């Protein structure tokens, strides 16, 4: 069965269930944390695919990934139990992502990611979030990442747009432009050399 179809069916069902119980925000927070856990710990998917683990053990792992030490909400627990009983744990990461997408779309929430070489102050992050929110006429979630490999500057992803103002990218552009100019100069010299001979 197609991953996207299964994931979206479960995500839509979860969204309707959360709406009917009035727990959309809590479910969103729990699913967001679970999605982050899948992203940070790829071995979680491997563990869930392990046929030796019981449903109870998988349930405990999922709740720990989503909630930490806090007890899971009733609705979250029921949903995870449904997923595990139907043997759909393989799809759980995709279900999380689909649910987050549906929730954000229904609440007009945009997602932006700021990558910098050094940590940025909270004040600057808040200003960036507010400006992006104002420009897009939507509430914004701003995720941050520190990546020293960009050497300076920043990379800003918002929806499907990327603004790359990193030093590393600028240096690559300079290098590529220099190589192109050197190549053109070599062609010119070879051309002149052939005329002379």
What is the tens place of the pLDDT at every residue in 117-161?
889 899 988 998 888 888 888 888 888 899 988 888 888 888 778
What are the helix and strand counts (H, E) for the chain? Answer: 8, 4
- pLDDT tens profile 32-84: 999 999 999 989 989 998 999 999 999 999 988 888 888 888 999 999 999 99
Strands 109-116 and 139-146: parallel
CA angle 70, 74, 75 (to 5 degrees): 115
């Amino acid at each position: 069965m197609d991953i996207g179809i299964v994931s979206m069916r479960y995500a839509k069902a979860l969204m309707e269930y959360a709406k009917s119980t009035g727990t959309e925000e809590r479910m969103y927070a729990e699913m967001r944390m679970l999605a982050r856990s899948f992203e940070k710990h790829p071995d979680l998917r491997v563990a869930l695919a392990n046929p030796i683990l019981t449903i109870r053990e998988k349930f405990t792992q999922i709740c720990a990934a989503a909630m930490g030490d806090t007890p899971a909400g009733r609705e979250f627990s029921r949903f995870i139990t449904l997923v595990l009983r139907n043997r759909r744990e393989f799809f759980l990461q995709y279900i999380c992502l689909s649910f987050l997408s549906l929730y954000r779309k229904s609440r007009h929430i945009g997602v932006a990611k700021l990558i910098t070489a050094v940590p940025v102050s909270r004040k600057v992050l808040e200003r960036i979030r507010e400006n992006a929110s104002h420009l897009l006429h939507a509430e914004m979630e701003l995720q941050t990442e520190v990546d020293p490999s960009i050497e300076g500057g920043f990379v800003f992803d918002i929806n499907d747009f990327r603004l790359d103002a990193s030093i590393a990218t600028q240096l690559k552009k300079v290098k590529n432009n220099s190589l192109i100019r050197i190549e053109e100069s070599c062609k010119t010299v070879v051309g002149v050399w052939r005329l002379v001979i």
